[in-house]
């Protein structure tokens, strides 16, 4: 009878035509029915029963849980909505409060917890890792320590935390059985051979987990990037009539090395023995190591399982000790928290579509590195899903990324650190329903995203057909402890038909404000304010793009670099550039381009060093170092007209009728006032008279040379730059150069953020 009632309830929930609003409150109870008068206590309880069309309203308070929606909506009009109650502050956090800190001298305190406190995920043992991640010669963990809402910086070694605190207080953790120092990778392997047998080269493998092939200084390939728990299997290894020893060629720098367990058939097969690989001095300093094994005969499959060397730690057995500096603070009387969850709002599986997340404060997630070749997680993750709306949230304090519009995960994760490897990722994605009908199409709007050390918004493939609009994104990678090639305010791979519009992006350190990497075909970057993005690629980096891409009505105000280009087929219209334009001409990767407004690959652009150009520059303002002459030697033709060059900026040889005013003082300043950000700029109406400028349209821009696609809107309609940065109509006969349609001469003051 119980089973019949359960089935009836499931059918009723699946087919009911009316929507329900469920309520959640910190004073509630998960045994309640979720009504306004009898709310649930946790968001997860409401999520477990919500169906398409339902709304989950969460009332003020602090919720310490990971929300994993088990299902999504059915369409854009029948979605499941998670929202903070209007006007109420709702915080969902990945951290937990602490007590029991012990002072061990000076500013330093220690907290001891049983490893069981963390369950299956201990962020103080979990290393940040992944394709294109650089550890800068030290270890980095996903966890952190938070004091009064802000985070401390992770130290490189315990000794640093035992000293008096400096300007940046530090923390460090020691976990029983886990090394507390050294690189995250263990060793390299070139070959393995049974006694009296022939060496089996590393690249003659049958299966693997985690490790990757790399070039070997002794010739051929070696197994590299080997971490704890990785394994590799060699099939058909000949042990002859009986073998009791095995030799292995290994390499590891000082502080690294590890154990190589030898199993029959697979990682859980019979253990034959273990070989210790000691440090050899470097990743390519090779030595031979041998070990005895149980006598083995015949042709067998041999599996190598990699583990760190056993370590002796000073921490109590099965415990985690967290050391932290609290200058002038008693952590037992202050608000001190530690991480407990790797994410805050993320489904457990892909394919959870049509979710709305609105109005929350989402924070303190122990996220790992989000490369384009692996499952990507953020504080909030639209995990290989369709049609999410993420709006009006504050998203902050992620060890890596804030919002992830990312890829699915599979056995190939973090095994493709090369252009060829990412081509394989794209090919498999097409097999796993990477189409406009099933993936992407998200809206990320009006969020405040800050204090993320990898990216504010990251996405590979799952970001296609999405809009990122009206967000304030800042303080990204400002600590600069680790590095890598996936870091920016917004970092997308496969951003087909993406619209990035009206965002405010600043204080992105040593990375880029916006980085579009591979396959952002027909993306539009318009009406964005970027400034104080110092180091790295500055305000924007476009890498391996073949066009068409539109960049219009933007304020690129950072000193140093405004735009770095390693691409073809980009149209720049009505922007202001206060920093340098760079034209990279040294890439030899073969990369794909798509059919119009689709994920299907139309072709591969062959690798050609020096292959740059096919850009358009219309009606822009160039100031100071932002010269267009860097494109004079582009391999493909470029086109320019109607641009104005101020304060020493230089025109290109292909610019038609530029206005050159080397002595004009633009007086460009950006100031923060009580009501927002204000831009001051000197302009002159005379710029409109010579030359007369054409409006920027699909007809003017033509077609991108490589992809042979037209510059048009993401819905396929013809584009026309008919408004300026502030939304004012442009003169259809002679639009004014730069991002603002000028109404009068002289010093102009524009409120550029927030957009009223």
Residue 38 and residue 128 in one domain: no
Going by the DSSP 8-state scheme, the letter that residue 705 receives in this structure is: T
Residue 605 and residue 654 in one domain: yes
Residue 15 and residue 155 in one domain: no
Q: Which of 463, 461, 488 is nearest to 473 (CA)?
A: 488
146-153 LR contacts (CB < 8 Å, sep 24+): 146/95, 146/335, 146/336, 146/337, 146/338, 146/364, 146/397, 147/326, 147/329, 147/331, 147/334, 147/335, 147/336, 148/334, 148/335, 149/335, 151/397, 151/451, 152/324, 152/325, 153/479, 153/481
* Calpha distance 232→235 (Å, rounded): 10
CB of 257 within 8 A of CB of 276?
A: yes
* Calpha distance 412→414 (Å, rounded): 6
The CATH number of the domain holding residue 145 is 2.60.40.1180
Q: Is residue 192 part of a domain?
A: yes
Residues of the chain with pLDDT under 50: 1-6, 8-9, 11-14
Q: Is residue 519 part of a domain?
A: no
pLDDT of residue 9: 46
CB of 377 within 8 A of CB of 342?
A: yes
| Residue 578 bridge partners (DSSP) | none
The CATH number of the domain holding residue 442 is 2.160.20.10
Q: Is residue 531 part of a domain?
A: no
pLDDT of residue 2: 46
Residue 658 and residue 731 in one domain: yes
Task: Tell the residue number behind the tokens 């199409």, with chain if given.
Answer: 441
pLDDT of residue 418: 79
Residue 346 and residue 362 in one domain: yes
* Calpha distance 43→24 (Å, rounded): 6
Looking at the 3D structure of the chain, how many domains does it have? 4
Q: Tell which of 495, 512, 527 closes a domain.
A: 495
pLDDT of residue 494: 97
Q: Is residue 477 part of a domain?
A: yes
Q: Nearest 5°: CA angle at 484, between 258 and 500?
A: 145
Domain extent for 240:
188-307
Helix intervals (H) in 572-664: none
Residue 451 and residue 382 in one domain: yes
Q: Is residue 587 part of a domain?
A: yes
**Strand, helix or coil at 662?**
coil
Task: Tell the residue number behind the tokens 């999410």, with chain if given.
Answer: 388
- In 12-131 the beta strands, taken as DSSP E runs, fall at 21-24, 55-58, 61-64, 80-84, 90-93, 95-97, 102-105, 108-114
Q: Which of 108, 188, 167, 178 is nearest to 143 (CA)?
A: 178
CA torsion, points 460, 584, 559, 628, in degrees to nearest 10?
Answer: -120
- In 423-480 the beta strands, taken as DSSP E runs, fall at 443-445, 448-452, 455-460, 467-469, 472-476
CB atoms within 10 A of CB 17: 6
The CATH number of the domain holding residue 248 is 2.60.120.260
Q: Is residue 534 part of a domain?
A: no
Q: Tell which of 476, 495, 514 closes a domain.
A: 495
Residue 595 and residue 730 in one domain: yes
Residue 77 and residue 104 in one domain: no
Residue 143 and residue 275 in one domain: no
pTM: 0.88
Q: Is residue 81 part of a domain?
A: yes
CA torsion, points 348, 373, 364, 176, in degrees to nearest 10?
Answer: 90
pLDDT of residue 127: 92
Report the sign of the C-alpha dihedral through residues 600, 602, 603, 604, in that order: negative
Q: Note the pLDDT tens digit of each residue in 328-368.
A: 999 999 999 999 999 999 999 999 999 999 999 999 999 99
Residue 30 and residue 100 in one domain: no
Q: Which of 320, 346, 316 is nearest to 145 (CA)?
A: 320
Phi, psi torsion values for 55, nearest 5 degrees: -125, 135
Q: Is residue 251 part of a domain?
A: yes
pLDDT of residue 594: 97
Residue 468 and residue 396 in one domain: yes
Residue 740 and residue 719 in one domain: yes
* Calpha distance 23→742 (Å, rounded): 50
pLDDT of residue 141: 96
């Amino acid at each position: 009878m119980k089973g019949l009632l359960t089935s009836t309830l499931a059918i009723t929930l699946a087919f009911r035509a009316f929507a329900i609003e469920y309520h959640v409150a910190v004073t509630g109870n998960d045994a309640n029915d979720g009504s306004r008068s009898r709310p649930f206590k946790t968001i997860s309880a409401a999520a477990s029963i919500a169906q398409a069309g339902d709304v989950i309203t969460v009332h003020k308070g602090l919720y310490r849980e990971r929300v994993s929606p088990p299902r999504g909506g059915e369409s854009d009009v029948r979605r499941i909505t998670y929202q903070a109650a209007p006007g109420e502050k709702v915080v969902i956090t990945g951290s937990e409060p602490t007590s029991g800190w012990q002072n061990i001298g000076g500013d330093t305190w220690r907290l001891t917890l049983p490893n069981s406190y963390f369950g299956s995920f201990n962020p103080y043992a979990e290393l940040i890792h992944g394709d294109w991640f650089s550890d800068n010669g030290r270890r980095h963990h996903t966890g952190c320590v938070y004091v009064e809402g802000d985070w401390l910086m992770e130290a490189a070694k315990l000794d640093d935390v035992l000293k008096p605190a400096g300007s940046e207080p530090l923390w460090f953790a020691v976990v029983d059985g886990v090394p507390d120092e050294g690189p995250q990778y263990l060793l390299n392997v070139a070959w393995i051979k049974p006694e009296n047998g022939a060496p089996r080269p590393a690249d003659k493998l049958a299966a693997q987990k985690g490790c990757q092939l790399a070039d070997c200084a002794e010739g051929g390939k070696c197994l590299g990037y080997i971490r704890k728990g990785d394994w590799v299997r060699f099939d058909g290894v000949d042990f002859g009539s009986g073998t009791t020893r095995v030799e292995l060629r290994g390499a590891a720098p000082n502080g690294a090395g590890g154990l190589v367990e030898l199993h029959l058939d697979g990682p859980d097969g019979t253990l034959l023995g273990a070989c210790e690989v000691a440090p050899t001095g470097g990743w390519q300093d090779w030595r031979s190591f041998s070990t005895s094994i149980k006598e083995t005969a015949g042709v067998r499959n041999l599996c190598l399982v990699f583990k760190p060397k056993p370590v002796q730690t000073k921490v109590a057995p099965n415990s985690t000790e967290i050391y932290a500096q609290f200058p002038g603070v008693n952590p037992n009387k202050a608000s001190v928290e530690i991480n407990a969850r790797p994410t805050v709002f993320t489904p457990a599986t892909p394919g959870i579509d049509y979710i709305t997340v609105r109005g929350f404060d989402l924070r303190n997630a122990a996220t790992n590195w989000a490369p384009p070749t692996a499952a990507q997680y953020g504080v909030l993750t639209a995990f290989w899903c369709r049609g999410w709306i993420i709006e009006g949230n504050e998203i902050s304090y992620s060890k890596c990324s804030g919002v992830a519009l990312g890829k699915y995960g599979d056995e190939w994760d973090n095994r493709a650190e090369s252009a060829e490897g990412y081509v394989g990722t794209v090919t498999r994605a097409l097999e796993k329903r990477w189409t406009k009908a099933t993936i992407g199409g998200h809206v990320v709007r009006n969020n405040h995203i800050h204090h993320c050390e990898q990216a504010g918004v990251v996405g590979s493939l799952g970001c296609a057909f999405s809009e990122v609009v009206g967000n304030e994104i800042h303080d990204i990678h400002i600590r600069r402890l680790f590095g890598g090639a996936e870091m920016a305010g917004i970092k997308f791979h496969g951003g087909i038909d993406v619209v990035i519009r009206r965002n405010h992006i600043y204080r992105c350190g040593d990375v880029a404000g916006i980085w579009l990497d591979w396959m952002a075909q027909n993306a539009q970057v318009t009406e964005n304010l970027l400034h104080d993005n110092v180091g790295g690629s500055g305000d924007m980096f476009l890498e391996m793009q073949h066009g068409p891409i539109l960049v219009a009505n933007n304020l690129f105000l950072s000193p140093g670099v405004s735009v770095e280009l390693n691409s073809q087929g980009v149209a720049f219209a009505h922007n202001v550039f206060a920093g340098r334009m760079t034209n990279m001409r040294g890439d030899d990767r073969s990369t794909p381009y798509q059919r119009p407004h689709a994920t299907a690959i139309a072709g591969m652009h062959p690798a050609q060093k020096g292959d740059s150009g096919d850009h358009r520059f219309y009606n822009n303002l160039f100031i100071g170092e932002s010269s267009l002459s860097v494109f004079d030697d582009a391999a493909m033709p470029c086109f320019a007209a109607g641009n104005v060059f101020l304060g020493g900026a230089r025109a290109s040889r292909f610019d038609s009728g530029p206005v050159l005013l080397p002595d004009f003082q633009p007086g460009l300043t950006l100031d923060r006032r009580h009501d927002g950000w204000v831009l001051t700029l000197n302009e002159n109406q005379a710029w409109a008279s010579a030359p007369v400028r054409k409006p920027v349209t699909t007809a003017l821009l033509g077609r991108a040379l490589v992809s042979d696609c037209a510059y048009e809107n993401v819905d396929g309609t013809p584009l026309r730059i008919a408004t300026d940065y502030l939304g004012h109509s442009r003169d259809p006969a002679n639009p004014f150069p730069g991002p603002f349609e000028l109404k009068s001469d002289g010093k102009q003051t524009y409120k550029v953020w927030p957009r009223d």
